[in-house]
Amino acid sequence: MFSESQWKELNCRENQFAKVFAGEKPDFVPVWWYYEELGQIKPELLMAEKDRKAWLDNQLKAVKTNVEEALENHCLYYPMIEMVSLYGTHYIDALFGNEVQWVKNQFWSKEQTCEVSELQMPDFDNSELLKETIDLAKWIKEQTDGKFLIVMPDIGSPINIAINLFGEKFFLEIAMNPDSAKRVLAMISEVTRRVYDELITAVGQKTIRCHNNFYVYTPYDYAGLSICATQMISPANYTELVADADDRCVPDCYKGMIQHICGRSNQHVSEIASRSRIKGVQLNDAGTDQFADYFKGLRDDQIFYMRPTENMTMEKILSITKGNRVLFTVTEKPKAKIEIG
Cα 215 to Cα 75: distance, rounded to the nearest angstrom = 13
Phi and psi torsions of 202, nearest 5°? -75, -45
Q: Do residues 113 and 68 touch, judged by C-beta distance below 8 A?
A: no
Phi, psi of 192 (to 5 degrees): -60, -45
- Which pLDDT score, from 0 to 100, does residue 104 have? 82
In 3-state terms, what secondary structure has residue 288? Answer: helix
Q: What are phi and psi of 151, to 5 degrees?
A: -90, 120
Taking each helix axis from N to C end, the angle separating 128-143 and 52-71, rounded to the nearest 10 degrees, works out to: 50
| Closest of 118, 115, 120, 117 to residue 95, by C-alpha | 120
pLDDT for position 91: 95
Rounded to the nearest 5 percent, the helix, strand and coil shares of the chain are 50, 15, 35
For residue 323, is it left (φ>0), alpha (ψ between -120 and 50) or beta? Answer: left
Does residue 48 or residue 182 have the better pLDDT?
182
- pLDDT of 36 reads 58
pLDDT at 167: 97
178-186 mean pLDDT: 98
Higher pLDDT residue, 290 or 61?
290
- pTM for the full model? 0.94
User: 109 near 99, Cβ under 8 Å?
Assistant: yes
**Are 245 and 158 a contacting pair, CB within 8 Å?**
yes
Residues 28-41 have pLDDT tens digits of 999 998 765 554 56
Pairwise CA distance, residues 316 & 337, whole Å: 17
Strand partners, 80: 149
What's the CA dihedral at 188, 126, 257, 292 to 10 degrees?
Answer: -50
Give the bridge partners for 278, in sequence order. Answer: 257
Backbone φ, ψ for residue 109 (5° rounding): -120, 130
Q: What is the pLDDT of residue 42?
A: 74
Residue 152, by phi and psi: left (phi above 0), alpha (psi -120 to 50) or beta?
beta
Average pLDDT of the residues in 182-188? 99
